[in-house]
A and B are shown apart, each in its own frame.
Chain A
Amino acid sequence: MSNLSACSGGWPGTIPASAGIGLRFPHHRDVIETRPAVGWLEVHTENYTGGGNPAACLEAVRADYPLSLHGVGMSLGSADGLDADHLARVRDAVRRFEPALVSDHLSWSLGDGLYVADLLPLPLTEEALAVVCRNVERFQDGLGRQILVENPSSYLRYRHSTIPEAEFLGAVVAATGCGLLCDVNNIFVSACNHGWDAMHYLDTIPAAAVQEIHLAGHAIRTINGRDIRIDDHGSAVSDPVWTLFSAAIQRFGRIPTLIEWDNNLPALDILVAEAAKADAILAAAPQHTSERERHAAFA
């Protein structure tokens, strides 16, 4: 396990156990000028590794909002290991913006020497588990702090997978001391696509490690007469995902919860209203965070 105890704590601010929104470029000005009533903001790390206007906007908003950096490019499942240059860019962004949370995905995007710009599924094998643990440790060691790993949405499975996904995530947590980002929409999408029991998934992942929840919309496509759900972040959170969210926070307690919306981006007030809806559900949830605090401190 990585020894990160000397590095935990000391990061400015924490994410409140309330709803936040994903900040995208078209909303920069609106957020700076109107300061909407949301608890925190999350951005895609890769959009803020340069200078100029994006970085200046993030500097402006982080004075008023706790911040989370959510990566889409670390490729934690790549057999070839992490891209050292990308790790350095992310490390520099973390030093500059001092986010309260840093996260990426249980997936891979780099293979055959190329970056494919998608979050691709891993075979859930002992070999892949070792690869992910090695990469998560290198990521955490490179930053000198704990990261969160997000469960993926899935459209296919491999014949040679041997470990259920929720158990795989638990094993990564146990081996590396990382935290989890529980994407409730992704659980719902994968459960529908593969016939999984979403409640069992929630019961299986280590609750104390969950430090953030994602909510988003998804699409339904029909192929060969069968529906398949696609995690496209292009619409409002669906009713069954809200229901699953309520069940999740009954298990995890009040957790920082993000509204993600990337495609067909609506006006800012629509996002803020979605966050308010999440806040109302969070307010009714139990507050049992002591175990989670121990996990974060342990990491």
Chain B
Amino acid sequence: MPRLRDLQTAFVRSLRDPDDAIALAAIGLLDDAADPGIPATARIGIHRNTHIGTLTTALRQTFPAVEALVGVDFFETAIALFVQERPPRAAGLNDYGCHAQADGAATTGPGFPAFLARLPATASLPYLPDVARLEAAIAAAAQAPDAGSLTPQALAGLGDAAADHALTPHPSLRLVTVTGPIEILWRAVLDHDDATLRSLALPGNRRGLLVYRATAGVTINALDPAQTDFAARLCGGQPLRTILDDATPAALLTLFAELLAAGCFTATRPLAIEMPS
């Protein structure tokens, strides 16, 4: 009699690959005699359909614009390959495929956007991984833990000491660096706005998309390169003295005020001051 762990290993492998030799052992465990007429392979196939169907639904809900851009057939083919390469390892599929692509890295990492970027067939759609990274950031922002907001008054209350503090970003905050007006493309695809799609100039220039969850829902704030670098430093744990000074351009100060008012930061934390040795 097989141990339960061995049976479960074989069953999982049979779901992922019907031809797996170990998986065939699991099929041998099924009681065809008790339930005649439908072979064991077909019964496991019912579970295989649910397995792939549930994962497909999860990715479809997270990446609707990607699906619209590539079409249903290609999307489902890509998902089947992705599930083979990067199956989920824990329950909870709301962030499946979203990991490690919302950090500004272009095509590395295990998420679905990086996977799409490596597919030769997507080479003709250079904006596709950026759209996927934006959708991953949106999904991550939508379900990030709740947290309180740092108020402008609380920051002002620190006085001059604020210079030696860093800001803690809200758990929903993501900064995605993309090429071109990806957020406009994304919205137009979802809205079936063909006029906007025809008017878009792609690939375009580098820009940052600051994605965060405000009270009204997930917000996308498009930033120029200077704003992108500024936002990256605000979110990067550096002391405010190195980010804000008398020479900070007014446009960046305005952006800072907007982000603070929108609840993009939850707290300040004091940084140790290096003492001369």
B46 touches A228 (CB 8 A): yes
* Chain A residues within 8 Å of B93, by CB: 46, 117
A118 at the interface (CB under 8 A from B): yes
* Chain A residues within 8 Å of B37, by CB: 224-226
B47 touches A52 (CB 8 A): no
Q: Which residue of B has the minimal Cβ distance to A108?
A: B8
Interface readout for A47-61 with B: 1 if CB under 8 Å, 0 if not?
Answer: 101111111000000
B43 touches A156 (CB 8 A): yes
Q: Which residue of A has the minimal Cβ distance to B27?
A: A156
B217 touches A53 (CB 8 A): yes
When chains A and B are docked, how far (Å) is the Cα of A127 from the Cα of B142? 42
Report the minimal beta-carbon distance from A258 to chain B, rounded to whole angstroms: 20
Tell whether A78 pairs with B8 under 8 Å between CB atoms, given A193-B35, A224-B37.
yes
Report the minimal beta-carbon distance from A96 to chain B, rounded to whole angstroms: 9
Interface readout for B1-31 with A: 1 if CB under 8 Å, 0 if not?
Answer: 1111101110111011000000000000111
* Chain B residues within 8 Å of A159, by CB: 29-31
Q: Interface-forming stretch among A69-77, A180-188, A205-213?
A: A69-77
A79, A85, A120, A122: the one contacting B5 at CB < 8 Å is A79
B236 at the interface (CB under 8 A from A): no
Interface readout for B75-116 with A: 1 if CB under 8 Å, 0 if not?
Answer: 000000000000111111110000000000000000000000
Interface readout for B159-183 with A: 1 if CB under 8 Å, 0 if not?
Answer: 0000000000001100000000000
Report the minimal beta-carbon distance from B80 to chain A, rounded to whole angstroms: 14
B275 at the interface (CB under 8 A from A): no
Report the minimal beta-carbon distance from B13 to chain A, rounded to whole angstroms: 6
A240 at the interface (CB under 8 A from B): no
B196 at the interface (CB under 8 A from A): no
* Chain B residues within 8 Å of A125, by CB: 1, 4
A160 at the interface (CB under 8 A from B): yes
Tell whether A46 pairs with B34 under 8 Å between CB atoms, given A52-B144, A79-B8, A125-B1.
no
Residues of chain B at the chain A interface (Cβ within 8 Å)? 1-5, 7-9, 11-13, 15-16, 29-31, 34-35, 37-40, 42-44, 46-47, 50-51, 54-55, 58, 87-94, 141-147, 171-172, 213, 217
